[in-house]
Amino acid sequence: MSFFGVDCVRKKERELERKLRANDREYNLSFQYATNAIKTNKYNFFTFLPLNLFEQFQRIANAYFLFLLVLQVIPQISSLSWFTTVVPLVLVLTVTAAKDATDDINRHRSDNQVNNRKAEVLIDRKLRSEKWMDVQVGDIIKLENNQFVTADLLLLSSSEPLNLVYIETAELDGETNLKVRQALPVTGDLGEDIEKLADFNGEVRCEPPNNRLDRFTGTLTFAGQKYPLDNEKILLRGCTLRNTDWCFGLVLFGGPETKLMQNCGKSTFKRTSVDRLMNILVLCIFGFLAFMCTILAIGNLFWEMNEGSQFTVFLPRQNDNNAAFSAFLTFWSYVIILNTVVPISLYVSVEIIRLGNSFYIDWDRKMYYGRKDTPAEARTTTLNEELGQIKYIFSDKTGTLTQNIMVFNKCSINGKTYGDVYDYTGQRLEITEGTERVDFSFNPLADPRFMFHDHALVEAVKLENPEVHAFFRLLALCHTVMAEEKREGEIYYQAQSPDEGALVTAARNFGFVFRSRTPDSVSIVEMGQQCSYELLAILDFNNVRKRMSVIVRSPEGKLSLYCKGADTIIYERLDQSCSKLMEVTTEHLNEFAGDGLRTLALAYKDLDEEYFNQWKQRHHEVSTALDDREEKLDELYEEIEKDLLLLGATAIEDKLQDGVPQTIEQLSKADIKIWVLTGDKQETAENIGYSCNLLREEMNEVFTVSGNSPEDVKEELRNAQTTMKSVVEEDSVFLPQGTLGNGPKVISDELVNGEYGLVINGHSLAYALEHSLEQEFLKTACMCKAVICCRVTPLQKAQVVELVKKYKKVVTLAIGDGANDVSMIKAAHIGVGISGQEGMQAVLSSDYSFAQFRFLQRLLLVHGRWSYLRMCKFLRYFFYKNFTFTFVHFWYAFFCGFSAQTVYDEWFITLYNLMYTALPVLGMSLFDQDVNDMWSFQHPQLYVPGQLNLYFSKKTFFKCVLHSCYSSLVLFFIPYAAMHDTMRGDGKDIADYQSFALLTQTCLLFAVTIQLGLEMSYWTAVNTFFVLGSLGMYFAVTFTMYSNGMFLMLPPAFPFIGTAQNSLSQPNVWLTILLTSILCVLPVVTYRFLFIQLCPTINEKVMFKVRQAKATPPPPPRRTRIRRTSSRRSGYAFSHAQGYGDLVTSGRFLRRPAVSRSSGFTNIGRTTTGFSPMGRSAGYSPTGRPQNTKAPDVEVTSLQMYRTFRDPAL
């Protein structure tokens, strides 16, 4: 290792296969595997100064000022003191270095916090507490419940039966539901016996470090046997151990080689598009500066040869230098004098403006989330104006758009819907926090967190409606949830998906409580009665079947099959007698889907004992077959899952964060395209897309790309393009890349006939991101209004962002809340982290952070737009005032013999950018706003000019230069003509150099100050004070420095004795100042007047509207919820992968034998004493039809034949 922490000997060879041996550090060290320490910092104590200075001098302007400083210490060419450059340069370098040091110290602290966590490591046959950073590959470590996984581990043994562990992978993939991992039986026998574990010397051969979270291949060799290893036996760093007392694991990968760190992506230095444009402009300015200096040097050459030679008699040249050498020195002297075209104060001011606008974000109370005491935070100060130019937003779904909380919202049972609340007129009420909740106090085992508002459903349960009971009985039995009851009545469910957990919890609250299971039974409490159902078979869910079923025997001996799944799949398998009920339920499903809810259809059938025994025998034979087992099982399942009787449907809400639909709608109006990149399955992502207004029913079409080969994907993309645009010209979509011409082609936006959406699966996306298809994919996606990518890996998220950055000249923003979003956040121009359910990984890697997605609209439409507007105004004005200042020197050179004499007093040159014009422009750049935040929200189109770079561009810069050129001509020649051969009122001469310098600089200051006033849209007391105060400061300093006292103290430094009093007391001087100011401003005012009248911008239109309002605008109208009727279906509420049916029936999951428990219910029978029917139970509906009546013409199901009472409402 070198002194700077860089390996100077040789780069480590690429690892092709990992080999390691348990408990053998010496053997494992020979391979030089990475330790478990992580390092995200850039500097250390020794490398900070050289590396930071090296980085800073890569900025062209800093290198230029260093070069100027070298010139200024050469006496022959220096016409300004060296301190005028060195002081601001050191100030800029110091401030930037301090900021970089602070950021890196924070990174050091974060690294140290993680690296110094403690882990129990088996060393020398003892468990020792070691720091994470000291853990090495091949070590055996012990983890306990709720601990983070230290490194990527091979699970050896655990406290649970059959060596299962439960892990939460939220930090990796954003999913908060628990997942199961199981150790090999041969290592599971080691248990927690330290001696056995210390003697374990198994050898592992596995894949090298990579970023695939869903795949692992390797083998374990132990005691002469070889065992296969897969992803189900691996615990990844970033996971959390849950509901498992302890487990032991063997370290396979550590630190930077873990899959978590491999997915983090590289930290890149982010710079704004304004910064990049500034670098180009600075290069152009340097060229222009050299051009001006060359002209003046040539002028000096001719002047020396023609005029200067006449002075050599009484003013001989030093060291007999000739005219050519004089011209050479003059060139460098003018480089120093004219350097104010790019003053270093520009960069100081830019940093101050960015810092100030960052504080506005930190201090914004409207972006503060009180529930979690989380304010918004600008974690970087260098990207604020980029927030006003965003064109593409890449968002995670789980935890970013949604709360990752599934809520049982509505249901349809036997043709009747439950879940809505109606008033006495039959109008549906909006459910809010104040809406009365159903009281579940009759059920001691109810989950207190569960909320439901329609009292009719609990009334139907209490009245023992058989269809309602069968509905909830199905929910309590047909699932693979595991229950944990540590204390009597406190039940915790571990579900493979939040959907299943929500359904089982709903059944629990309505009186059908799932309590425990064994491999062959399910124990539930039905309305206070303990029941045990014999579990005969689980027909498990997968992505093809899209349903799951259980076959159970009731305590009475009745055989039943209960099935739940996607409605389209269930409907195909229903008995013909359900046709009328299907029609009614379909209407309800359409209504649920229109509300963006996730739906499931529920059905059942009673089985004949003899038939089932035959089926079971065939099932056993197929289960043990070696060939085509899956296909034969599917055929068997199809055979028994037919002629089902429909019970109803469930509607689950994947709760969106507050304000997500409105935010997406606002951002869409601002012409921002939103792509959702999620690890969820397609149906889930589509549901959220519809519920949050990303996908809309009004869209012409939503394309689904799900090809399983590059050819299929290409064909689907081409078909989508053809639909969107009938004529697709191959070459018309490419434009040559911008400035230097060496980059890739740029895909331009195409006009399409309508609005479209695109949904693409993970495996199809993998093909679409290949080099041969990436442009085709991007072209199709960019033609769509919204894009959803499903089942994507963290790396694919970053690849999608990089693809858009590569081929589109746009600014991108990525927003997420989990470790799986880190690579995407780092890849985008702007990374936003949401501090939510899934830890702080995303926040730590982000540029901005806050607690709720809805704050994004304020960050962009208010803070981002204002920051961009202010920065552009600042740059336009700054270049104007400094070019004007500098060009006056250029014109003066033609009247002073090209002698590099300054037209202004040296003190004015020093203080011009430091004191006289600094505060007014900073005031404008910190406080200016065209319209307030409310108007910004009401007119999101105000955001569009930023995306198009309309406020500051090369064209705008060129206009500034022309404007400055005109102003400098007026500012030089009007005072020159006014002073030429002029006398004072008392006959004394006023046309001396010092009087002319004073008049010119006073005219300049008035002209640029008036120009600032024209630029400013929003005057505050602070702005006014800065403008008037700076003018007052100019006169105070001028009269002080030109006084007798200052001259007597230091005559060489203050030669302009009495000039101010002599000149500024003359009326013609003030008339000249007035005339130059009017002539400078007149073309600007004329141009703006004509422009506003003939072709006003969106800003000017809105500002005119604001002036007309003359008061605070009324609050925006309350947005009514639009109900959609939809033929599409919300997704079925199952997990993202194949279910756990095999695991449940095998008995491998069991923690401990089920114990008999009391039901915990009070026997309520059918009594409804004290129960007041409300909502729909009161007999009101939107149609005027009593709600408790059965839907007309619905055929009687077999369950209705068991009714023992008559509903009073009938």
Known catalytic residues?
396
β-strands 203-206, 390-395: how paired?
unpaired
Three-state DSSP at 393 gives: strand
Q: Nearest 5°: CA angle at 883, between 880 and 886? A: 145
Q: Tell me the backbone φ, ψ of residue 857, rounded to 5 degrees.
A: -65, -35
Buried b (16+ CB within 10 A) or exposed e, 237-258: bbbbbebbebbbbbbbbbbbbb
- Cα–Cα dist 1058/51, whole Å: 51
Provide the token pair at 355: 């810092």
Provide the token pair at 51: 């590396």
Calculate the alpha carbon distances from 1087 to 53, 1091, 1104 in Å. Answer: 45, 6, 18
Question: In this structure, how many other beta carbons lie within 10 angstroms of the beta carbon of residue 1190?
Answer: 15
Q: At 507, which helix (H) or strand (E)?
A: helix 498-509
- Name the one residue in this structure whose structure tokens are 């009269």: 1039
Provide the token pair at 1104: 């005119």
Contact of 374 with 835, CB cutoff 8 Å: yes
Q: At 594, which helix (H) or strand (E)?
A: helix 579-594
Give the list of residues 6+ apart from residue 583 with CB closer than 8 angstroms, or none. Answer: none
- Cα–Cα dist 493/514, whole Å: 9
Provide the token pair at 743: 């980059």
In terms of residues, how long is the chain?
Answer: 1210
Contact of 279 with 390, CB cutoff 8 Å: no
644 DSSP assignment: B
Sign of CA dihedral 200, 203, 206, 208: positive
- DSSP H helices in 851-943: 855-858, 865-893, 906-911, 918-927, 933-938
Contact of 399 with 817, CB cutoff 8 Å: yes
Q: Tell me the backbone φ, ψ of residue 690, rounded to 5 degrees.
A: -75, -40
- Torsion, Cα 760 765 770 774, to 10 degrees, reads 30
Q: Which amino acid is at 635?
A: E
- Cα–Cα dist 849/375, whole Å: 8
Provide the token pair at 1015: 């630029």
Give the list of residues 6+ apart from residue 1098 with CB closer than 8 angstroms, or none. Answer: 939, 941, 942, 944, 945
Q: Which amino acid is at 336?
A: I
Calculate the alpha carbon distances from 142 to 121, 153, 165, 699 in Å. Answer: 6, 11, 13, 54
Question: In this structure, how many other beta carbons lie within 10 angstroms of the beta carbon of residue 34?
Answer: 18
Give the list of residues 6+ apart from residue 951 with CB closer than 8 angstroms, or none. Answer: 868, 869, 872, 873, 876, 945
Calculate the alpha carbon distances from 442 to 281, 1157, 1167, 1171 in Å. Answer: 75, 18, 11, 10
Give the list of residues 6+ apart from residue 432 with CB closer than 8 angstroms, or none. Answer: none
Give the list of residues 6+ apart from residue 12 with CB closer than 8 angstroms, or none. Answer: 32
Distance of CA 192 to the CA centre of its chain: 43
Q: At 964, which helix (H) or strand (E)?
A: helix 954-979
Q: Which residues pair with 140 in a beta bridge?
A: 250
Q: Tell me the backbone φ, ψ of residue 643, rounded to 5 degrees.
A: 55, 40
